[in-house]
């Protein structure tokens, strides 16, 4: 099991360019998430997908769009990148655990720089 | 909306017990409390989760008082490899709709010294 995979690992964009961050999980989880992590800000939820076919905004959705392509894949798109979107992006997935709790599994992250 | 507050940093020594407390005064009825560990250049890794009272697993314990306005992660006998950032997360994972709020603390940087 690869768990949660993300591509690319690193990316440099110029202001105004677009790109899509890819995420896939092989744990058959229903829920998937996109976070950004900035120094001093902790993790902030951008969008999530509670189940296949649904997506919802998190805390900081402006400037982003998402697609839940199927149960395995959840992509994050930046239509017109801005320097404020320079960050580390994490994808995660979760499912109801044996004990009744929800454990999120995280990917390795994508380090994005917008110049 | 729940806001989580935790100490910025802590220092400890190998073999000691470490307790990290998170404050979440506005926790909602359906919110769970979860703790994650993060090493540099890696994604967070789940440590433990609870709703009330005490939860223990093979690596940590989580203490939650009756009012649920705070929680304490307890790491027994830490080693150098426990040097990491620890995050408190408060949120309702059971809500499948558009009100799933997941509020992360800013993290506690734990340094374990020999």
pLDDT of residue B49: 92
> What are the pLDDT digits (tens) for B68-99?
999 999 999 999 999 999 999 998 766 545 55
Distance between CA atoms of residues A80 and B46, nearest Å: 33
Name which of A42, A95, A106, A108 to mutate to probe chain B: the one with the most chain B Cβ atoms within 10 A of its Cβ: A42
Taking an 8 Å cut-off on Cβ atoms, the answer to whether B100 and A108 are in contact is no
> What are the pLDDT digits (tens) for B43-66?
999 999 999 989 999 999 999 999
A22 and A111 Cβ atoms separated by less than 8 Å: no
Q: How confident is the model at residue B100 (pLDDT cuts 50, 70, 90)?
A: low
DSSP, residue by residue, B82-98? G-EEEEEEEE-TT--ST
Side-chain half-sphere CA neighbours of B2 within 13 A: 28
Give how far B75 is from chain A: nearest CA, Å: 19
Chain A residues in contact with B101 (beta carbon < 8 A): 59
Measure Cα distances from B94 to A50, B62, B99, B101 in Å: 9, 20, 10, 11
pLDDT of residue B30: 82
Distance between CA atoms of residues B67 and B5, nearest Å: 16
Collapse the DSSP code of A104 into the 3-class scheme (helix H, G, I; strand E, B; otherwise coil) and give the result.
Answer: strand
The mean predicted confidence, pLDDT, of chain B is 91
Q: What is the mean pLDDT of residues A82-104?
A: 83
pLDDT of residue B1: 55
pLDDT of residue A97: 54
In this structure, the strands spanning B53-56 and B108-113 are unpaired
Nearest to A35 by CA among B7, B89, B40, B50: B89
Chain B residue with CA closest to A40: the answer is B106
Taking an 8 Å cut-off on Cβ atoms, the answer to whether B50 and A101 are in contact is yes
Distance between CA atoms of residues B39 and B47, nearest Å: 13
């Amino acid at each position: 099991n690869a768990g949660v995979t993300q591509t690319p690992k690193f990316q440099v964009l110029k202001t105004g360019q677009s790109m899509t961050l890819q995420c896939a999980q092989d744990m058959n989880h229903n829920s998937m998430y996109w976070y950004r992590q900035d120094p001093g800000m902790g993790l902030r939820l951008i969008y999530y997908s509670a189940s296949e076919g649904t997506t919802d905004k998190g805390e900081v959705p402006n400037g982003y769009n998402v697609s839940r392509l199927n149960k395995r894949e959840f992509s994050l798109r930046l239509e017109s990148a801005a320097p404020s979107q320079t960050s580390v992006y994490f994808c995660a997935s979760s499912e109801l655990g044996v004990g009744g709790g929800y454990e999120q599994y995280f990917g390795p992250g994508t380090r994005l720089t917008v110049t | 909306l729940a806001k989580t507050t935790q100490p910025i940093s802590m220092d400890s020594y190998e073999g000691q017990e470490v307790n990290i407390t998170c404050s979440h005064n506005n926790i909602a009825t359906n919110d769970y409390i979860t703790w994650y560990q993060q090493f540099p250049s890696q994604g967070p890794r789940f440590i433990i989760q609870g709703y009330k009272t005490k939860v223990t697993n093979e690596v940590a314990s989580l203490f939650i008082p009756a009012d649920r306005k705070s929680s304490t992660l307890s790491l027994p006998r830490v080693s150098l490899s426990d040097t990491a950032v620890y995050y408190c997360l408060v949120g309702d994972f059971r809500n499948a709709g558009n009100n799933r709020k997941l509020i992360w603390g800013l993290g506690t940087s734990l340094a374990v010294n020999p």
